[in-house]
Amino acid sequence: MKRWVYQLSLGLLAITACSPTLEQMAPPVSPAMAANSKVSERNLQLGRAAYIAHCGRCHEYQLPDSVSDEDWHIVVPGMAWNASLSKQDEIAIRQYLIAAKSK
């Protein structure tokens, strides 16, 4: 194998090894998450599913902690409008992202 192909392969491996996983980008819903957020597990599951299905289509997923609660209230409606999501999906995604933030 050519040396540059080998070096490129190693570089790509290093980048992907450091990239956040889906579990970090979209932590699973837990009973504690639902209790702390006062949002039902079902609604949080719907939000997580919509987040995974839609938010990575146009841009990289954002870690829930990367945006403040106040800013999620601004960012999510704009992104939902851009993606032609339903109001139900918009609300569920916002609730999930805020609930998924580490406290």
The single-letter code of the amino acid at 48 is: R
Asked if residue 100 lies in contact with residue 64, where contact means CB atoms within 8 angstroms, the answer is: yes
Q: Residue range 34-61: average pLDDT?
A: 93
Q: Residue range 18-46: average pLDDT?
A: 88
Asked if residue 96 lies in contact with residue 31, where contact means CB atoms within 8 angstroms, the answer is: no
**Neighbouring C-beta atoms of residue 59, cutoff 10 Å:** 8
Q: CB within 8 A of 34, min separation 6: which ones?
A: 40, 41, 44, 99
Structure tokens at 77: 């409606």
**Neighbouring C-beta atoms of residue 73, cutoff 10 Å:** 12
**pTM to 2 decimal places:** 0.77
The secondary structure of 66-95 as a DSSP string is GS-HHHHHHHHHHHHHHTT--HHHHHHHHH
Lowest mean pLDDT among 19-28, 29-38, 40-49, 56-65: 19-28
